[in-house]
Structure 1
Amino acid sequence: MTAPVLEKPTAPAAAPAPAPAPVVETARPAVSAGRRRFLQGAWAVSLAAALVMGFVGFLFTLSHVQERHYQSTAYKTFRDQLGRAVAPTGSAPDGDPVALIDIPAIGLHQTVVVEGTTGRDLMRGPGHRRDTALPGQAGVAVVFGRGATFGAPFAQLSKLRVGDRIEAVTAQGRYTYTVNVYGDGDHPIVDPARNRLVLVTGDSDWIPGSTVLIGARLDGAAEQNPGGRPATVPYDKALAADKGALATLQLWSLALLGAVVGGLLLARYWRRSAVYLTAAPVVGALLWAVYENAAALLPNLY
């Protein structure tokens, strides 16, 4: 007799998993035309404010760095020219170094004076007015300097007092002037001395409306003045704006806009971090050029 075969009990069937709840997509509320215009306007205003604040930052920080860099380079160039006896004694190209000036009373030491008094010339340091004598030569030497931006070499000019000394070095030697008279835009300096120096800057560390003039007489004999200097141009005058920079400003602005748009388009197809890292130096350089040309449109003594 065979043993009965016991059947293995079967486990109860698992209950079917509940079906996932259907995902109901809620439509985003449509942005009204008025709100869209508001957001676009707010974005444009924010961008404009950022550009303006960047320009202010450039004027009062980066412009000083730019001027110091040029001064350092120009000082080495001029000292080399003095050593080789090839420094200019007459007319010189715009922006070239023509003298060194020291005014201890206002903390100015071994400052390079460049040729020309346009806004661009004065971005490099104090500028010699092209139609006047060089310091130390017979006649009146006129030097302009900024009072707020690009190193602000003449910011403390109004603190000079009668008797303060001004030292100048040119290709013809070293000379000393003594401050003896003051003036301004409405009251020009009147001094019968034939050989003298006139320093000119703006009357305010904000946007200047007039000028401050400091007159000093040459101590000792003057050197020969070769003459033959060119006439001034409108941009050489005190408080003049270099309107010729407007066209250049427009070109640099277009280049900046093109770089920004190009970077945004590339970011849609390439890795954004790589595009931004590549574009940042280009945009920064173009923005610097835009700000520099915009600064040339301000009064040259600012």
Structure 2
Amino acid sequence: MTVTIQPSPAASPPREPAAPVPPPSTPAAVPQPAATPPPASQPSIRLALQVPGIALSILAVVALGFVVHLILVSQLQYQRNQQTAFADFRAELARGTAPVGQTRAEFTDSGEVAKETVVEPGSPVAVLQIRAIGLRAVVVEGTSGENLRQGPGHRRDSVLPGQAGTSVLMGRRSSYGGPFRDLDLLLPGDQIKVVTGQGEHTYVVRGLRHPGEPAPAPLAAGQGRLTLTTADGDPFIPRDILRVDADLVTPAQPAPPRKFGAAALPPAEAAMATDPAAWTPLMLWGQALLLGTLAVTYLRARWGGWQTWIVGAPVLGAFGFAIADQAARLLPNLL
């Protein structure tokens, strides 16, 4: 029996184990840039934060400006108004057209009287001089707060100084020059001189009078009296009314016919009255200041601090002084 031996296959070299294949995985996430949030409105945020602070600062500046206006600026305004009034009154005296009553005549080219018009409030009507207290001031027509910013005022329902009857002059004690601040220093016997379109007139002080004290006896026919009225009390803190009565010692001049009496005068011309006509310009200037404040606040957020104040400070300052000037009319007219 024949046995066939099959050759065995050649032994193959041992295989190295295959490297393990990593399981499929999710591809690594590529880092993405963070989403940029929509740009915040930085000027709006800063504007909202700055408005209260700037508004309070401007309010404080306005209040300080009001005080500065009463103490300093009003005195300068008074001096300027007095110089202008004196020049106007001197020219009228030279022309012979200074008012001598409640009305003034307007003439034609031929010298005839064309018509008579009421003397406008604020027109100069006299020059008052009291050497005992160093006072020399132009007196204007009218006694409202607006008129008394120019100088002492003549109460329009009374006769002019130098005429028969009682002439009443009012003046401020502290603000706008305070022309009547030293009336309480007058003594009986002190002289008061007044120049009007009818000449120079002399009065002699009779005495000082407070509310509740008896008034002088009524005047006899042909006699004249001058009553000076102002506030009484500490400066800028009036407590009462002070009156100085003086008797006319020079011949009384005739008074033209009266066109209106006390009932025709507005309440603003009474002693210690305020001027309600100041409310309208005060509100308009206040609105202008508000708009200016908003504009400055917005520009400060856009431009920066010093650039904005260079432009805005003069504008806001002008608005502030205009407001202070109108607010002063709401104070008592004898302050």
TM-score (norm 2): 0.73
Which residue pairs with 2:330 in the alignment?
A: 297
Which residue pairs with 1:203 in the alignment?
A: 232
- 2:105 is aligned with 1:61: no
1:247 CA drift (Å): 2.4
1:95 pairs with 122, 138, 144, which one? 122
How far apart in 2 are the matches of 1:188 and 1:292? Answer: 37
- 2:221 is aligned with 1:221: no
How far apart in 2 are the matches of 1:48 and 1:286? Answer: 12
Maintained 8 Å contact 2:85/2:124 = yes
Maintained 8 Å contact 2:62/2:320 = no
- Aligned residue-pair number: 265
After superposition, residues 64-213 of structure 1 pair within 5 angstroms as 64-91=75-102, 92-109=119-136, 111-187=137-213, 189-193=215-219, 194-204=223-233, 205-213=235-243
Maintained 8 Å contact 1:166/1:177 = yes
How far apart in 2 are the matches of 1:276 and 1:51? Answer: 16
Q: Which amino acid aligns with 2:273?
A: A
How far apart in 2 are the matches of 1:287 and 1:88? Answer: 37
1:258 CA drift (Å): 1.6
Q: Which amino acid aligns with 1:237?
A: A
Q: Return closer, same or farther for 1:188/1:66 CA change in 2, 3 Å cut-off.
A: farther
Q: Return closer, same or farther for 1:254/1:161 CA change in 2, 3 Å cut-off.
A: same
1:269 CA drift (Å): 5.6
Which residue pairs with 1:262 in the alignment?
A: 295
Q: Which amino acid aligns with 1:106?
A: I
Q: Return closer, same or farther for 1:40/1:257 CA change in 2, 3 Å cut-off.
A: closer
Q: Return closer, same or farther for 1:278/1:96 CA change in 2, 3 Å cut-off.
A: farther
Maintained 8 Å contact 1:133/1:227 = no
Please give the per-residue CA displacement for 1:178-219, whole angstroms capped at 9, x wherever unaligned. 001221222253233341000000012232132000000011
1:50 CA drift (Å): 3.0
1:100 CA drift (Å): 0.3
How far apart in 2 are the matches of 1:75 and 1:149? Answer: 20
Which residue pairs with 2:10 in the alignment?
A: none
Which residue pairs with 1:15 in the alignment?
A: none
How far apart in 2 are the matches of 1:108 and 1:41? Answer: 48
Please give the per-residue CA displacement for 1:52-98, whole angstroms capped at 9, x wherever unaligned. 22211111111111111100111111101111111111121011111
Larger radius of gyration: 2
Identity among equivalent pairs (%): 40
Please give the per-residue CA displacement for 1:119-162, whole angstroms capped at 9, x wherever unaligned. 11111110000100111111110000000100000000010000
Q: Which amino acid aligns with 1:119?
A: G
3-state DSSP of counterpart to 1:209: strand
Maintained 8 Å contact 1:120/1:296 = yes
Q: Return closer, same or farther for 1:138/1:284 CA change in 2, 3 Å cut-off.
A: same
Q: Return closer, same or farther for 1:96/1:274 CA change in 2, 3 Å cut-off.
A: farther
How far apart in 2 are the matches of 1:217 and 1:203? Answer: 22
TM-score (norm 1): 0.81
Q: Over the residues paired in the alignment, what is the CA RMSD in angstroms? A: 2.4
